[in-house]
């Protein structure tokens, strides 16, 4: 697949496409790029020239340019395929799921780094292909892989594949919940070793897998209180449970790392020392006496239900953003009574409102902007304010990180203004 005198079309010129181009050009491969500025007809005239094409995750397999390239007989690889083919190490640990992927990968990387050299790549932020040149034969690779990347990849075969949980997401791309879930589960069939969450109904039926759970004592790895139970042994943790969400993510990482190289004391001591990535139910301080939580990473219904479920005090919830085709009636069915006010803003605000049952409908307030939500909350504060949009960020922001940072800035602005008011 590599070598000089080859010509490759790179489809998509975002972060992944740019990394692919840089890698191929360094290998002496001539590249041609496609983005929306290049017409399908122009690409058609060039099709016969290419040895293969590499597709970025953001481009669907049903995109006209992909269909045109395939029609011309040009093989289409994913960036994951390309990296896998060129990577010196086969010790690849792929993690996917609806929620918890980044936290699990962050923890897994920390665990492996305590005893081995490890690289954290993929959907977590750094394209795998960007790090291929630095990876050695004995190094481990922790790969966060999305449903888009799984669907696009033909040749990728990880040593270990693990799933956090499988719910519902990206229906704007996969069209049905069943299709989305099938793509996620297909990752397990590609791997030598499968690690699954036996507490997740969709994963219970997976055969020949190593299991982990925070609810199922029969799992191969079971976390309860301040201990992990595995193979008849009890491994003590340095502190009490940090919460169901983090515990499940940590346990998944622990199961993968221990499956690879056995249980290490370093894995246990790191339980409460790994810094969770930002914008995941992140406590960002107080505003008018209320605790404020930034869950900008809550880009789907399941994530928001989980985030809201962690709070028991009277709470105002901010929802809305870019629609992904989800059923918002599931969201309202999953919210507890303590969610007493719901702010709706963003491109899909009206769609969310229309899905609200009458009891919840009365709690909803349509707002023009994210800042307007915070401004209204300050006038009538509750005990907690949770920003967990249950939506993508692309209606107004580059990504969920930018959205999360802007929310923090808004909160800081009103916090400062409130503190300046004479008491």
Q: Which CATH code is given to the segment(s) 7-74?
A: 3.40.50.720
Q: Which is nearest to 279 in space by CA: 294, 293, 292? A: 294
Same fold, 81-269 and 282-420: no
Using CA atoms, how far apart are residues 112 and 55, in angstroms rounded to an integer? Answer: 30
Q: Which is nearest to 244 in space by CA: 155, 286, 307? A: 307
3-class secondary structure, 249: helix
Q: Which CATH code is given to the segment(s) 81-269?
A: 3.40.1190.10
Task: Look at 68-82, 163-177, 385-399 and tell me which has the smallest mean pLDDT.
Answer: 163-177
Burial of 231 (0-12, 13-18, 19+ CB in 10 A): exposed
Per-residue pLDDT at 416 exceeds 70: yes
- Provide the pLDDT for residue 2: 47
Question: Does the domain formed by 282-420 have CATH 3.40.630.30?
Answer: no
Handedness of CA 309, 312, 313, 314 (dihedral sign): positive
Question: 285-342: per-residue pLDDT in tens?
Answer: 999 999 999 999 999 999 999 999 999 999 999 999 999 988 999 999 999 999 999 9
Q: Which is nearest to 25 in space by CA: 12, 11, 6, 42? A: 6
Whole-prediction pTM value?
0.88
Domain boundaries, the chain: 7-74, 81-269, 282-420
Q: Are 163 and 94 in contact (CB under 8 A)?
A: no
Using CA atoms, how far apart are residues 402 and 414, in angstroms rounded to an integer? Answer: 19
Question: 195-204: per-residue pLDDT in tens?
Answer: 999 999 999 9
Strand 227-230 and strand 233-236: pairing? Answer: antiparallel
């Amino acid at each position: 697949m590599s070598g000089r005198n080859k010509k490759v079309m790179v489809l998509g010129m975002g972060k992944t496409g740019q990394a692919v181009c840089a890698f191929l050009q360094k290998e002496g491969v001539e590249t041609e790029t496609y983005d929306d500025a290049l017409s399908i007809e122009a690409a058609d005239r060039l099709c016969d020239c290419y040895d293969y094409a590499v597709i970025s995750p953001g481009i669907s397999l049903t995109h006209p340019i992909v269909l045109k390239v395939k029609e011309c007989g040009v093989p289409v690889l994913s960036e994951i395929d390309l990296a896998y083919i060129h990577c010196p190490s086969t010790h690849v640990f792929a993690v996917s799921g609806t929620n918890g992927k980044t936290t699990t990968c962050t923890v897994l990387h920390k665990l492996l780094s305590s005893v081995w050299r490890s690289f954290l790549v993929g959907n977590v932020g750094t394209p795998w292909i960007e790090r291929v040149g630095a990876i050695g034969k004995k190094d481990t690779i922790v790969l966060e892989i999305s449903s888009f990347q799984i669907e696009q990849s033909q040749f990728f075969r990880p040593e270990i594949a693990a799933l956090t949980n499988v719910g519902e997401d990206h229906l704007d791309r996969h069209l049905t919940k069943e299709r989305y879930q099938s793509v996620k589960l297909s990752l397990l069939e590609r791997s030598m070793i499968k690690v699954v969450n036996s507490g997740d109904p969709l994963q219970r039926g997976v055969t020949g897998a190593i299991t982990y759970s925070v609810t199922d004592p029969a799992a191969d790895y079971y976390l309860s209180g301040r201990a992990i139970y595995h193979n008849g042994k009890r491994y003590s943790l340095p502190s009490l449970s940090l919460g169901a969400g983090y515990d499940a993510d940590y346990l998944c990482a622990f199961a993968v790392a221990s499956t690879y190289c056995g249980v290490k004391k370093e894995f246990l001591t790191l339980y409460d020392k790994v810094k969770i990535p930002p914008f995941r139910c992140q406590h960002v301080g107080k505003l008018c006496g209320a605790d404020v939580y930034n869950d900008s990473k809550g880009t789907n219904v399941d994530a928001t239900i989980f985030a809201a479920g962690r709070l028991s005090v009277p709470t105002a919830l901010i929802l809305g953003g870019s629609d992904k085709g989800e059923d918002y009636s599931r969201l309202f069915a999953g919210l507890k009574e303590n969610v007493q006010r719901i702010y709706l803003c963003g491109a899909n605000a009206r769609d969310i409102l229309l899905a609200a049952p009458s009891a919840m409908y009365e709690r909803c307030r349509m707002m023009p902007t994210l800042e307007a939500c915070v401004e209204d909350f300050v006038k009538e504060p509750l005990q907690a304010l949770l920003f967990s949009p249950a939506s993508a960020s692309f209606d107004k922001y580059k990504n969920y990180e930018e959205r999360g940072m802007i929310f923090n800035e808004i909160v800081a602005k009103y916090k400062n203004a409130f503190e300046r008011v004479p008491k």
